[in-house]
Structure 1
């Protein structure tokens, strides 16, 4: 008797339920949770499997050294900031960084936002105490509210439905910007409007003029630039809330394979990458391209075992390792991982996350990072790849398109006192628009050297 493959795939998606699922909220009302999941299961997909397949092809090129991955966005998106202006600013920043990288390194850039779903965050503790009052920790807007009150901090499954709605709307805005002419490479000057006072912007303007000159020359030669009007822009987030991810998983009618339609790209965080854990088990069953964060305690054995579980067929574009070692550890730890990956013939692409391993607390009490540490980890990432003979494939950043003051240093020389001027993040500090461009110029130089 034959088994229907669609039914088999659906049943296979339940295997994670018997395993430990870390970093999950304690939902107080199971009936509310069931209703929210039922609503999500009946909802339209946010992305379609064919687009996830296209991204997998692009990431295969990244792994071969034929393209570069640029992924950026908020540490944790908030419902309140999901407006067209802020979304547009983030897209503009990523597009500008991509222009700098493409122009400087003559390499295609795969553009991806930490957007349209990055509404949940892991926490070091389930509870937070202030003034003798203990409440559940803030786990992102898809779980509970930031205000320190009983009502706000109560995990609410209905927030997953609201997160789905806002994620869908965000992707619609992204599509409008990237498909409606805003992303046209002939508008590189307009992307810089209002940001011409600082050194990074002046350097960007010089790049824009060079691109302008090249386009005018090729136009005079009869080249048709209609293809420059639009760009492919993908979205990804950490697959943290398993109830949400499972509820948005669909069976592709073309292939009969399951896809998590909450995003094109999903990654597993440093705190949930246990080989025998629920997150690795669940993500191993879906067909999206996947990422895994690797911190400084990762051993080569850990890495190879994760590749065996998540990418047993060694499929190009399926797996991206995102190294987040910290500036002080990247040159010490990363070589062992790259040597093992090379020896084992892993097909994974490699990206650097130079943010999470460099978090400090300022003397005034702000959670922050030093821009110099971020830059140093990026340099170390390229140095190690160059020494091993492997491909430095991408950049995974926490950034915003706004002029916040959350990371120390940069050309603006943000100091401890300056952090208070526009410190807006609810979770982790982000590079502002200028610091993001500064970093892009550095990476372009490193790519040329690589």
Structure 2
């Protein structure tokens, strides 16, 4: 896609630029010029931002949003939520996966996300057998990404056991589990299904320390050299106590001592960590993958973001269970959680704008975690977001005040247009194919499993 976009104000990696023109050729940024007047051929916009990476998603869970909010007889937690999720997947086939993922990916674009890290573990058929095409569910995800326009970093998950110490999988996990040979075939098939998507990436994802043995973890991270490695870790307090009982060490402590964790890695959640573990994460160069909306919905706890900032931990944001998809709300809740814990304001900044710090940090961390091209750089995909300058929360704002007002007041309602690889997929806050995507989702979610 070729275009020239003119912004009165555009956030670039080096800061805000006035009267900036972005020249797009074949979907890539060809040039960015500052302090230039608008020309007749330019498409004019007031405020522009780089698209935000969403580093952690389980797309299929968008279809169960709101279905787990009924109090049961026992205490409600992640583990009771997981039991409901197991029941939900019993009704999903590739057609339903496609429809649900397209809805989720459309909503991600509408809120300013332009790339997703899809932590994909629903591999097997309804009976727990591999599909004839090992990546048939991954094909559905790739198809949904292609149709909606969202960039995809696919992270096929290895789920080999049900608990620490090599406990065998339970029947409810039959759609997730595979062995190393099956996982290697899945990776090969996943690579093929991504071939038609522009700037797609393939990574690997050992599900968690409870789902793979130490021997398998050491083997799996070598399967795709240089690729992103994502893992759930220290999400729940019970996970910490179970890991201590098994190994004598906490999950993050054990992982950093027993795996070669570096800049490739994304430690998803890392909610229950000590100061020493935060320092070790920072030293490793890994990214903490934070999902504040889901972590709040599940009652998991709060990542110690203030202490992590002091120690230099990198972070990005993800929508995880997709109970609500909203880029600005992930950032806002991340900050508000710290305000409630520490009982003070503007916790996550080294000085200056909190909104700018949150946005820049999540952009950098997400880009690293998903092996994405650098944002708004010549030769990179043209992934941009424009804001509605006439939104009441944005009127009269400039520079970093725009980001403060976007995150803490306007929210997703201020998102106007979104370009992915130079093509405008969202205009006026609505995806170009919104009606068709929702209609297909409505048909799929209401029918029995095929």
TM-score scaled to structure 1, two decimals?
Answer: 0.39
Relative to its length, the structure with more helix (as a share) is 1
